[in-house]
Amino acid sequence: MASEKEIQKILNDGISYFGKDEVIYVYECKKCHKLDPVPSFVINEHLGFLKFIKAKKSYEMECPYCGSPSFPIKTSKDV
Ligand SMILES: [Zn+2]
């Protein structure tokens, strides 16, 4: 489990990379527990794609490190 400090660092990295106008989601992999910042426009594209293929809406993303399911644990809207 990631510490609050690690989560905050990833959030700040995401904000400095994508800009503070973008809502950043911190994803944590269920398997390897690596954290990844994902901007809201990527999530919206993902949800749009799921709608297009008539899949159930899900915030689940693939971990970029091991390919396992990854879920948002915090967003920059929370802070
Ligand atoms: Zn992983």
CA 50 from chain centre, in angstroms, equals 16
Cα of 57 from ligand 1 centre, angstroms: 21
Cα of 49 from ligand 1 centre, angstroms: 22
Contacts of 48 (CB under 8 A, 6+ apart): none
Name the one residue in this structure whose structure tokens are 């809201």: 40
Kindly report the pTM of this predicted structure. Answer: 0.88
Cα of 21 from ligand 1 centre, angstroms: 27
Cα of 37 from ligand 1 centre, angstroms: 13
One pLDDT digit (tens) per residue for the chain, 79 residues:
789 999 999 999 999 999 989 999 999 999 999 999 999 999 999 999 999 999 988 999 999 999 999 999 999 987 6
Strand order from edge to edge, sheet including 61-62:
35-39, 24-29, 69-75, 61-62
